[in-house]
């Protein structure tokens, strides 16, 4: 059953009497107060997507803006399952990898399109100490914890509600991550708002509060291919990253603790360049990551405002995505572990290097890295961070 929150800009037809027309107008106004409608041509609609293995209902929301950009989001993991933008010739394609059914997202997703937390990226050996107390997390990635553990935020069903906006459609997702969930301290109240604007931006605003000292590092994990989902390698796509330094890792993806200049390395994307040659370098760090799977230290003038982080461009189609972030770091992952075993929404199998993740966030293993910006959240403080993906064609 599809509930459509569409602009109800309709004439009140004469139904044989002024009273009936007035009643009809009253009905339309009433409906508009329960739907997130606006005159400018955007819309948000909801449909049932499926039920999890535990029997929890999952809904899918479809947002379109006045320029017909479309994003689909399911309440399982707050996952973006489709993001359709045009190329320079007006051909539309989704630029994110994903699946066609919920059970695939539940059983085999490498975090396609999901909200990641409580702590995105890795924590060494699944342990950290906070206020003198050691916490032990699930070890789900080699010897380390990745992306919030065995059942992180990407595997939770979120509450959702559409939000009316002028010049935008928005979906508010919320949940409470209970004290001790996946080993983290504190009842964490989290809200994530996806906003699709008529300026062709997909904005993600995160807020959270806690009743105990805890650690938090939320991010979004779409796999982007600007030529279109399932179109093959991103080798020829052009990437710019606004970062003079990056964070070297060991062979398990844990930072060495350094922040190393990109100068003279394959990690120098300060001038836009093709992705392919960089991920084929024999640089030991590329070997450690089996491509790029590293955090970049973004050049920032302050630690709060939205600043330019990266640009991804496909010369063949002209599709371009700019990323603005408030975070200090950008995790870049060039789909190194896609191995032809995942049958995607493209109708085909996904292979290594078919997409790139660009995840604004704090740095990996920060709770164990005193030199890195803190990821501790205390009662009374509010965690806030924002990311904007802006779409154009060139």
333 binds ligand GLA (CB under 6 A): yes
Q: How far apart are CA 172 and CA 75, in angstroms?
A: 10
Catalytic residues: 221, 359
> Which residues are registered as beta bridge partners of 51?
57
All residues at 6 or more sequence positions from 242 whose CB lies less than 8 Å from its CB, including other chains: 270, 298, 299, 307, 308, 309, 310
How many residues touch ligand GLA under the rule CB under 6 A: the total is 9
78 binds ligand GLA (CB under 6 A): no
| Closest of 388, 35, 19 to residue 204, by C-alpha | 388
Of 31-39, 95-103, 228-236, 331-339, the window that binds ligand GLA (rule: CB under 6 A) is 331-339
Q: Give the x/- contact pattern for ligand GLA in 130-169, rule: CB under 6 A.
A: ----------------x-----------------------
Give CA angle at 212 (208, 218), nearest 5°. Answer: 30
Q: How far apart are CA 207 and CA 352, in angstroms?
A: 34
Sign of CA dihedral 97, 103, 108, 113: positive
Is 142 or 379 the residue whose CB approaches ligand GLA more closely? Answer: 142
Is 178 or 290 the residue whose CB approaches ligand GLA more closely? Answer: 290
Terminus-to-terminus CA distance in the chain, angstroms?
39
Kindly state the smallest distance separating residue 146's Cβ from ligand GLA, in Å.
Answer: 6
Q: Which of residues 170-229 bind ligand GLA (CB under 6 A)?
A: none
| Closest of 167, 160, 165, 154 to residue 118, by C-alpha | 154
Token pair 């400018």 in the structure block, residue: 40
Is 200 or 387 the residue whose CB approaches ligand GLA more closely? Answer: 387
Residue 344 structure tokens: 């995607």
Q: Give the x/- contact pattern for ligand GLA in 93-132, rule: CB under 6 A.
A: -----------------xx---------------------
Is 216 or 357 the residue whose CB approaches ligand GLA more closely? Answer: 357
Binding ligand GLA (rule: CB under 6 A), the pick from 60, 198, 293, 314 is 293
Kindly state the smallest distance separating residue 332's Cβ from ligand GLA, in Å.
Answer: 8
365 binds ligand GLA (CB under 6 A): no
Q: How far apart are CA 192 and CA 207, in angstroms?
A: 7
Is 44 or 216 the residue whose CB approaches ligand GLA more closely? Answer: 216
Kindly state the smallest distance separating residue 293's Cβ from ligand GLA, in Å.
Answer: 5
Kindly state the smallest distance separating residue 294's Cβ from ligand GLA, in Å.
Answer: 8
337 binds ligand GLA (CB under 6 A): yes
Sign of CA dihedral 29, 33, 39, 45: negative
| Closest of 226, 165, 219, 163 to residue 197, by C-alpha | 165
Q: Which of residues 233-272 bind ligand GLA (CB under 6 A)?
A: 253
Token pair 């950008």 in the structure block, residue: 330
Of 22-30, 208-216, 314-322, 329-337, the window that binds ligand GLA (rule: CB under 6 A) is 329-337
Q: Give the x/- contact pattern for ligand GLA in 8-47, rule: CB under 6 A.
A: ----------------------------------------
Phi, psi of 65 (to 5 degrees): -105, -175
Of 209-217, 274-282, 330-338, 346-354, the window that binds ligand GLA (rule: CB under 6 A) is 330-338
Residues in the chain: 394
Q: In what order do the strands lie in the sheet with 159-163?
A: 159-163, 168-177, 188-197, 201-210, 383-393, 319-325, 307-313, 238-241, 273-274
Residue spans of beta strands (DSSP E) within 107-227 = 115-116, 122-123, 127-130, 133-136, 145-146, 159-163, 168-177, 188-197, 201-210, 214-215, 219-220, 223-224
Kindly state the smallest distance separating residue 174's Cβ from ligand GLA, in Å.
Answer: 24
Is 293 or 327 the residue whose CB approaches ligand GLA more closely? Answer: 293
Is 112 or 391 the residue whose CB approaches ligand GLA more closely? Answer: 112
Kindly state the smallest distance separating residue 214's Cβ from ligand GLA, in Å.
Answer: 21
357 binds ligand GLA (CB under 6 A): yes
Is 43 or 79 the residue whose CB approaches ligand GLA more closely? Answer: 79
**Chain positions contacting ligand GLA, by CB under 6 A:** 110-111, 146, 253, 293, 331, 333, 337, 357
């Amino acid at each position: 059953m599809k509930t459509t929150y569409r602009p109800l800009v309709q004439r009140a037809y004469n139904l044989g009497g002024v009273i009936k027309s007035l009643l009809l107008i009253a009905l339309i106004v009433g409906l508009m107060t329960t739907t997130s409608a606006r005159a400018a041509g955007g819309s948000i609609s909801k449909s049932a997507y499926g039920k999890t293995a535990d029997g929890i209902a999952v809904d899918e929301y479809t947002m379109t803006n006045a320029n017909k950009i479309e994003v689909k989001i399911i309440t399982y993991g707050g996952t973006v399952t489709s993001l359709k933008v045009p190329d320079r010739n007006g051909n539309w394609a989704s630029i994110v990898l994903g699946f066609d059914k919920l059970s695939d997202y539940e059983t085999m997703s490498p975090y396609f399109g999901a909200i990641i937390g409580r702590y995105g990226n890795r924590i060494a050996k699944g342990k950290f100490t906070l206020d003198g107390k050691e916490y032990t997390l699930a070890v789900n990635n080699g010897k380390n914890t990745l992306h919030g553990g065995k059942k992180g935020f990407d595997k939770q069903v979120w509450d959702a509600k559409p939000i009316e906006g002028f010049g935008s459609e928005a979906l508010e997702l919320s949940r409470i991550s209970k004290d001790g969930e996946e080993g983290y301290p504190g009842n964490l109240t989290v809200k994530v708002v996806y906003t699709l604007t008529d300026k062709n931006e997909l904005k993600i605003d995160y807020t959270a509060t806690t009743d105990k000292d805890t650690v938090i590092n939320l991010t979004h994990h779409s796999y982007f291919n600007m030529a279109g989902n399932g179109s093959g390698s991103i080798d020829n796509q052009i990437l710019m990253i606004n970062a003079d330094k990056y964070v070297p890792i060991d062979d398990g993806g844990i930072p060495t603790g350094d922040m190393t200049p990109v100068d003279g390395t394959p990690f120098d994307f300060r001038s836009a360049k093709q992705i392919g040659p960089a991920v084929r370098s024999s640089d030991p760090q590329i070997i450690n990551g089996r491509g790029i799977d590293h955090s970049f230290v973004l050049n920032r003038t302050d630690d709060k405002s939205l600043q330019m982080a990266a640009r991804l461009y496909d010369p063949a189609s002209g599709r371009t995505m700019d990323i603005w972030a408030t975070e200090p770091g950008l995790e870049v992952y060039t789909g190194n572990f896609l191995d032809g075993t995942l049958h995607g929404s493209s109708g085909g199998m996904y292979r290594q290097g078919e997409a790139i993740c660009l995840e604004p966030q704090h740095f990996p293993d920060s709770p164990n890295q005193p030199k890195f910006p803190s990821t501790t959240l205390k009662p009374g403080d509010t965690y806030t961070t924002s990311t904007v993906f802006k779409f154009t064609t060139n």
